[in-house]
Every structure is written in structure tokens, then in C-alpha cells.
Structure 1
Amino acid sequence: MRHPQGSTTPDEPLVVRLRELRDRTGLSLAALAARTPYSKSAWHRYLTGTQRPPRPAVEALSRLAGADPAPVLALWEAAGEPPAPSPPEQEGRPRSRWLPLSLALLATAAAVAAALTVAGRPGAPAPAAQTLLTGPRCHAHSCRGELPDASVCARDAQTKGAVSDSGYDVRLRYSPACGTAWSEVHVHSPQAREVSVRAGQDLLSASYPADDSAGYASPMLAVRSPRGVEACAEVGGQLACTGLDVEPAGEG
């Protein structure tokens, strides 16, 4: 069976290694999607070998698994299919299979450069291209359950409440651009933790093992304002909560 151009097959070393890394993380496809910029269906294609993953996806999975990305990237490079050299006797210049992508990248670079040039002029409005590249990937209810970093909602986040414990700090974070709120916990030493955010009866939480050095945020809730939202974290049997109109509390 002929595979799509640039794809991998399930028995290739890259696919085998990616599956091993995914197993090491213990994360589901949905969890991988929540913690990276790639969707659940995209991770399914990468891990089944029906589509070659982009380089940043390989790096992200290696990081989540706590593995050195260099050997995996070597497999990624080997799995690529560079265009074949042109025969000396062939007339004209054969069209490289990478040409459409190259043209697209050049066009994008030119558009961004033009936008930055316009932005540098006095009184010029914010360029649409810059907004497109840096804007959040969801808003309000479409952000529910997503993590703030993966959705770029953390970019404009504001701290609306904070409480400190001897072993960790808890913050209520709010993104005006996304219309969401979430809880963040920063531990002072490796410990398992559960991070939650609540608005009325609406509650979302996430648990992270002690050896997970990257997990620190709860999923996001869609809120009109951060007032009345409570952010909590439980670390080592200790609970601490904070928020606007919420009394900071801790219990053993």
C-alpha cells in the first residue's frame, strides 16, 4: 500500500519510539492534546504512522516523557524523504516536492515582515498578521477544559488572588482575551498535587504526579469575570484556596 507523501508506516523506528514515549507519559490522546498545540486526532495520526509528525510535536512528546529529544529527532530526520536529485540530462528544472511549502513559508515571512514594517509607523494600527500569530486559540466556552499554555490563554493572564504555603503557592489566574479562569500551583519541591478551579457548582481539576515537573495548572473555566471564582491546590495533604470574594483558607 502506498502511503501519503511524507507519512510514516507503523513499523518504522520513529513510530515505535513515539509510542514508547507516549506509554512512558501515561497520557491519553486527549491529555496530550491538552498539553500540546496538537489535537487529539493529530496525535492519533502521528502515533499510528498515517502522518509524519512535525518536529515540534516530537520535541514536545520527548519533553513530556522526560527523554532526550536528540535521538528521537535523529529518527525523525531519517524518516523524512528528501527530494531526489535531478538527472544531469533532464531538460529544465524539475519541480521539488517541497516547493509549495517553501513558497507558503516565504509568503508568510513576507506578510509578517510587511506587517511589522507597518506596525513601526507612527499611529499605525496593530497588524492583523501579528494578531493571527499570537492570538488565543479559543474563547469562553470553547476553552472549557483546555489548559492555558496550550491554548495561548496564559499570554495575557492576570493574577487575581494568591495564597502561599510553606511548600507551594496557589494563584487564581484570569485571561481577559479568552474569558477564562484557572488555578496555578507552584511547588517548592517535587510533590504530587491536585489543582482545581470552581465557579459556583462548576468545578474542574487536574492531578499531577510528583515526577511531573511541567504540570501546574488546572483546566480552564469559562467565566465573565474572575469575581467569585475559587482556585485551590492540594499538595501533601495540605489544601489552600484563594480567589476574589473568597476568604483564603488552608487545612491539614
Structure 2
Amino acid sequence: MDRAGSVKDLASELLALKKASGSSFVRLSEKTHYAKSSWERWVNGKQFPPRDAVERLARLCGTDPAPLLALWAEEDARRTAPEPEEGAEPEGGEDTEPEAGTRPGPAAARKRRGALWTAVVLAVLLVAGAVSYAALSGSGEPPAAPRPKPAVKVAGPATGCTLTGCEGRDPKKMNCGADAVTVRTGSIPKDLVIELRYSRGCQAAWGRISFAQVGATVVVNNSDGAAQADVVHFDRDVYTPLIAAPDDDSVWVCAALPKNGPRSCTGRFIPSEEKAQQP
């Protein structure tokens, strides 16, 4: 199944759960602090949802979240797995399966025994030839067998930047969202939810706010004095550009309501002191 199909499969489950509960997008937004526009994208398969949103929907609708989270994890792994190369053939080739309708019998047994003896004879001839060559060359030993080639390790999803090379860039375009997790949260009661997002692959972080008003701001900071910010121009959620998050530095996010309204920040996150939990 392709990655777009993964999003659609999970979306169909979310849509069925939403319909069964009778909840509107507005109600989901009020109860979960995710924007109703975000819920519309997730439920209709336009965007892959965060794990926390899936769990909140299940609990809001009075459903055990475990089966839905298992589907989320399976499709998230499929979604972030590297694409297979075009033209690749399954291991074993096309001749690994026996022909349909073939039945074992004496003739087939004799054929297999003949093939086995042929293989044994060829092996003996190869060994004898190797020993003869060693004797003629004066080495006293058969030539060494070729060393097996080391296995090629398939890397995970490639990221577009790391550390300060990520400063000011879009986390989605740099593929930093492939392994991203929310490591700190905060809120301005009844108005706004704050998230600090962190990518171990990019060694970078960014801030995100949801359920916000137009004009609300979000700023991500690190202990080196760098900062990145953005403002809600429309809709109800927004995220900042990337900021470097070295292992021994701290990063945090602050947000404020429009017109010098209330302001709040998350706690600080130091990557070397805490291992980000994968969703």
C-alpha cells in the first residue's frame, strides 16, 4: 500500500468514530484543543494526524484507544519507510514457487536424486581442481574463498538539515517531522495550546500553537540566544521555523495572545538529559 493509502485508511477509522460519536469539528476542537481545521484535514485524509490527537479522539468518544493507536503506529512506520526501488524483484526471484498442480511421484523423486548427485559430483570436481592448482603453484593450500560482501544497512528517512543548518527553515520541507515528537507542552487557559516539537534526526526544534486567535504569536528559543517566531494570520494554528537543538543546549517555546495579552511558556528541554519518546 502506498503512503497516501495509509493516511486514507486511518482517516476512514477516525471518520467512522467521529460519526458514531455525533461530534462536530467544533466540538472536537473545544474538547481536544486542536483546531477544527486540523481535525477536518485528519479525518478527510488530507494530512497524517499526530498520535496524541488520535488517542484524544478515542477517549473523547469513549472507545479503547489501543486498537486505533496500533493502526496509527503501523501506518506511521509504513509512511516513513523508504520507498522500494523501481524494478526490484522479491527475494528468490520468480522460480521460488512450484508450478500449480505438480504432484510428487517416482519420476520426480528420481529427478531430484539425479540433481543431487550432479551437485555432489560438481562439488568434488571443484575441490579437486582447487587442490591440484595449489599443488602446482607450490602453496600447499587451496586458494582462499572470496570474502562475503558486507550487508548494506538501509538508512531511515533522509533529513534536509541538521543543527544550525536548519535555522529558519520549514520543518516539513526539511523532513524533520519524520521522527518528530512533542517533548513539552503548555497553554494559556481556555485560549491556546503550546507545543515544543523536537527532531532527533535534524537535531532541531520548533514551536507550534493551536486553538489560537488571529494575531497570537509563538516563539521558539534556545540557550545560545537564537529564536524563531510566527504569527497566526488566518485559521487557528501555526508553527515556527526550525531552530538548532544541540544535545547539551536547552530549548523552549513561548506564546502570547493578541494585543499584549497573556503570555506563557513551556518548560525547557535538554536532549542529552532526556530521550524523546517515539509516538
The TM-score, its normalising length taken from structure 1, stands at 0.43
Task: Write 1 or 2 for the structure with the bigger share of strand.
Answer: 1
Rg larger for: 2
